[in-house]
């Protein structure tokens, strides 16, 4: 991975983070959007003609499970509301966009994701595999991109700009929360709240370490046999302090975590979308 690409990827994520925190930048127009329907979060990113993030929305929602839309109407309503709010903020119609699915998603599930975005009024120009979108932000150099989201850990190995191996396993942030809930006798929402406050991470580390080791073992199993020099972590769960170290210990490979790892894939979807509706 080349350093200048990483730096510009970090800068783009920082700009998108500011957008999610209320900053609106009108940019150069000809907007295109990226919709990430995740197990834990729905995220919409808007970028302009010059690839600057200009606006965005994020909302917690359980409308998709492991790439499969489980509540179509709610998913559509969330995306539609987000787009209406973004159109109001940007004072324009948003027309074109893209979405993404986990690697290996079946054709029917792939179409359902697309249909959610289309029925929210967007012409979907592309549907990407999530790691392809993430690589747009991180750089298409040789690396393993590991997306640890809400429900799953997705592993993709990139060589010379091509995905040569990909897998998705059902362990993610939900499992961290369940272990915390079980350990402290809390309900899921309270345990999630505790987990999302980074100041608790050090205290929670011994509790979640077995889940981290499971994630690390999954990664190790999939990348064994490939010549991987660096692992890049994306997805919200990658923010958990200490996870990087556990993965480095188990795999013996250096791990890089972008500051706003939760935003890499959604922003990458918008940036990967074809320009100008062509």
Which residues are near ligand ATP by CB under 6 A? 38-41, 147, 149-152, 172-174, 192, 195-196, 198, 235-237, 239-240, 262
Q: What is the dihedral of CA 22, 27, 30, 31, to 10 degrees?
A: -20
Q: Alpha-carbon distance 241 to 200, whole Å?
A: 9
CB of residue 185 vs Mg ion: minimum separation in angstroms?
Answer: 29
> Is 131 a residue that touches Mg ion (CB under 5 A)?
no
CB of residue 154 vs ligand ATP: minimum separation in angstroms?
Answer: 7
Q: Alpha-carbon distance 263 to 137, whole Å?
A: 10
Q: Alpha-carbon distance 50 to 80, whole Å?
A: 25
Q: Which of 9, 27, 34, 38 binds Mg ion (CB under 5 A)?
A: 38
C-alpha separations of 102 from 39, 110, 189, 207 in Å: 11, 9, 25, 28
Q: In this complex, which beta carbon is closest to ligand ATP, that of residue 62 or of residue 89?
A: 62
Residues 24, 54: contact at Cβ < 8 Å?
Answer: yes
Q: Alpha-carbon distance 267 to 246, whole Å?
A: 27
Identify which of 198, 233, 266 has the alpha carbon closest to the alpha carbon of residue 16.
266
Q: Alpha-carbon distance 234 to 153, whole Å?
A: 10
Q: Alpha-carbon distance 107 to 181, whole Å?
A: 36
What number of helices (H) and strands (E) belong to the chain? 9, 12
CB of residue 149 vs ligand ATP: minimum separation in angstroms?
Answer: 2
Q: Among 31-39, 66-74, 75-83, 202-210, which window interacts with Mg ion (CB under 5 A)?
A: 31-39
Q: Among 72-80, 83-91, 149-157, 191-199, which window interacts with Mg ion (CB under 5 A)?
A: 149-157
Per partner kind, with CB cut-offs from 5 to 8 A, the member of Mg ion, ligand ATP, none near residue 100 is none
CB of residue 85 vs ligand ATP: minimum separation in angstroms?
Answer: 19
> Is 266 a residue that touches Mg ion (CB under 5 A)?
no
Per partner kind, with CB cut-offs from 5 to 8 A, the member of Mg ion, ligand ATP, none near residue 240 is ligand ATP
Q: Alpha-carbon distance 30 to 49, whole Å?
A: 5
Residue count, binding to Mg ion (CB under 5 A): 2
Q: In this complex, which beta carbon is closest to ligand ATP, that of residue 36 or of residue 48?
A: 36
Structure tokens at 198: 């980074």
Q: In this complex, which beta carbon is closest to ligand ATP, that of residue 166 or of residue 237?
A: 237
CB of residue 194 vs ligand ATP: minimum separation in angstroms?
Answer: 10
Residues 278, 33: contact at Cβ < 8 Å?
Answer: no
CB of residue 153 vs ligand ATP: minimum separation in angstroms?
Answer: 8
Residues 32, 117: contact at Cβ < 8 Å?
Answer: no
Q: In this complex, which beta carbon is closest to Mg ion, that of residue 86 or of residue 145?
A: 145
CB of residue 235 vs Mg ion: minimum separation in angstroms?
Answer: 5
> Is 149 a residue that touches Mg ion (CB under 5 A)?
yes
Q: In this complex, which beta carbon is closest to ligand ATP, that of residue 110 or of residue 240?
A: 240
Per partner kind, with CB cut-offs from 5 to 8 A, the member of ligand ATP, Mg ion, none near residue 151 is ligand ATP
* Contacts to Mg ion by CB under 5 A: 38, 149
């Amino acid at each position: 991975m080349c350093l200048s690409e990483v730096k510009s990827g970090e800068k783009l994520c920082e700009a998108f983070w500011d957008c999610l925190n209320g900053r609106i930048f009108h940019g150069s127009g000809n907007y295109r959007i990226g919709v990430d329907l995740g197990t834990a979060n729905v995220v919409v990113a808007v970028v302009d003609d010059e690839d600057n993030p200009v606006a965005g929305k994020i909302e917690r929602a359980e409308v998709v499970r492991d790439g499969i839309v489980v509540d179509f109407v709610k998913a559509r309503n969330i995306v539609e509301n987000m787009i209406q709010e973004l159109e109001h903020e940007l004072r324009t119609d948003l027309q074109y966009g893209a979405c993404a699915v986990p690697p290996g998603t079946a054709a029917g599930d792939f179409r359902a994701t697309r249909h959610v975005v289309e029925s929210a009024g967007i012409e979907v120009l592309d549907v990407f595999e999530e790691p392809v979108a993430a690589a747009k932000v991180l750089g298409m150099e040789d690396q393993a991109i590991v997306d640890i989201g809400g429900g799953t850990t997705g592993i993709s190995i990139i060589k010379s700009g091509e995905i040569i191996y990909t897998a998705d396993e059902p362990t993610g942030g939900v499992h961290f929360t369940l272990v915390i809930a079980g350990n402290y006798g809390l309900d899921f929402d309270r345990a999630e709240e505790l987990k999302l406050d980074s100041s608790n991470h050090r205290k929670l580390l011994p509790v979640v370490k077995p889940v981290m080791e499971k994630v690390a073992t999954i990664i190790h199993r999939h990348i064994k046999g490939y010549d991987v020099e660096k692992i890049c972590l994306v997805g919200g769960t990658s923010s958990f302090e200490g996870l990087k170290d556990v993965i480095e210990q188990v795999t013996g490979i250096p791990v890089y975590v972008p500051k706003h790892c939760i935003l890499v894939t959604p922003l990458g979807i918008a940036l990967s979308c074809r320009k100008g509706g062509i």
